[in-house]
Amino acid sequence: MVTGPHTQAPGALPVAAAHCAKPISANQTSKALRRRLMAGVQRSLWWLASVGSLIGAWELCWYAGLADPLLLPPPHIFLAKLTEQFRFFSPAGSSEDGESGGIWPVLAVMAWTSMRVVVGLALGFVGAVAFGIAIRYYRIFGLLTLPTVTLLTPISPVAWLPIAIFVFGIGDVPAIFLVFISVFFVIVLSTLSQIDNVPASYIHVARIMGATKHQLFRHVILPTVLPGLFVTLRLNLFAAWMVVLIAEAVGVGSGLGQIVMMARNTFNSSLVFFTMTLIGLLGYAFDRALLTVQNKVLWWVGPAATGGR
């Protein structure tokens, strides 16, 4: 074969493509980093403005005499009593010994509550997705179980608390079980809906290309349904937090829920609002962490498709 001055060697890039494939310059990289930094700063400032507006309105109501400091103490009052509140988190409870408190018991209580939420959510999400897939893949299994799942879904997780205590006793397991129940049935039905809404063209193309049933599930169905399932999980995250606090107050005897119950019984409004602040911060941190995991796992879709930033 005769090659001229304009003839491309086999496997070589076209001339136009070679000119277009320019490496990213350091200036472009720095601009991208600067844009991301500015976006992060902007989000942080709006977050502070939002929280600051709530705190400002609360303090203004106290200043105007509209909020009783005994019943609705503003942040500057209940946060000023941190060392007093810390002792309620220690194993010694509400002992009058001032040295029984400290930051470490507070962190330990937060860690135990977080552990119950994480374990319950993980078991509920994985179990529900597997259960929903089994319903759609195995017809007899679906016919036997789907009516029962639909029947149990409307039952509030709180109604399962006596059963959890009867079966598992007092401890961590009832709280984990309630978190599991709070997400399991909803995500099973969401999984079925997501599978049913997979575009038929995706499945037809995969079958034409000779994909097996296992390959069809792994490379077509699962990547299509996961974004919607993660959004459902994030929406149910806050329900899981509400359930675990109720379980801790009644069926566990420890954790942030138990602290809130003790504060109510002792009419300690400062402890109530301090614990509520911890719960809010933990819930927000969990939502951000779940969004980060979601964006890492669902790397093939953008932030808009995963339900938030």
Residues of the chain below pLDDT 50: 1-21, 94-98, 100
From residue 135, alpha-carbon distances to 180, 192, 255 in Å are 19, 8, 36
Tens of pLDDT, residue by residue over 95-131, are 444 454 578 888 889 999 999 999 999 999 999 999 9
**277-300 burial code (b ≥16 CB/10 A, e <16):** ebbeebbeebeeebbeebbeebee
Task: Quote the pLDDT of residue 13.
Answer: 42
Could you give the CA distance from residue 6 to residue 10 in angstroms, rounded to a whole number? 13
Task: Quote the pLDDT of residue 118.
Answer: 92
Could you give the CA distance from residue 15 to residue 55 in angstroms, rounded to a whole number? 62
Task: Quote the pLDDT of residue 247.
Answer: 87
Could you give the CA distance from residue 103 to residue 124 in angstroms, rounded to a whole number? 32
Closest listed residue to residue 273, CA positions, set 76, 50, 65: 76
Could you give the CA distance from residue 26 to residue 6 in angstroms, rounded to a whole number? 33
* Residue 17, number of CB atoms within 10 A of its CB: 9
Instruction: Dump the DSSP string for 259-272.
Output: HHHHHHHTT-HHHH
The percent of the chain in helix, strand and coil, each rounded to the nearest 5, is 75, 0, 25
Check: CB of residue 191 under 8 Å from CB of residue 164.
Answer: no
Could you give the CA distance from residue 290 to residue 263 in angstroms, rounded to a whole number? 30
* Residue 136, number of CB atoms within 10 A of its CB: 16
From residue 114, alpha-carbon distances to 110, 118, 168, 282 in Å are 6, 6, 20, 8
Could you give the CA distance from residue 201 to residue 211 in angstroms, rounded to a whole number? 14
Q: What pTM does this model have?
A: 0.76
Tens of pLDDT, residue by residue over 201-241, are 888 888 888 888 888 888 888 888 888 888 888 888 888 88
Closest listed residue to residue 164, CA positions, set 151, 185, 179, 146: 179
**Interacting residues of 199 by C-beta distance below 8 A, sequence separation 6+:** 224
Task: Quote the pLDDT of residue 19.
Answer: 46
Q: What DSSP character marks residue 308?
A: -
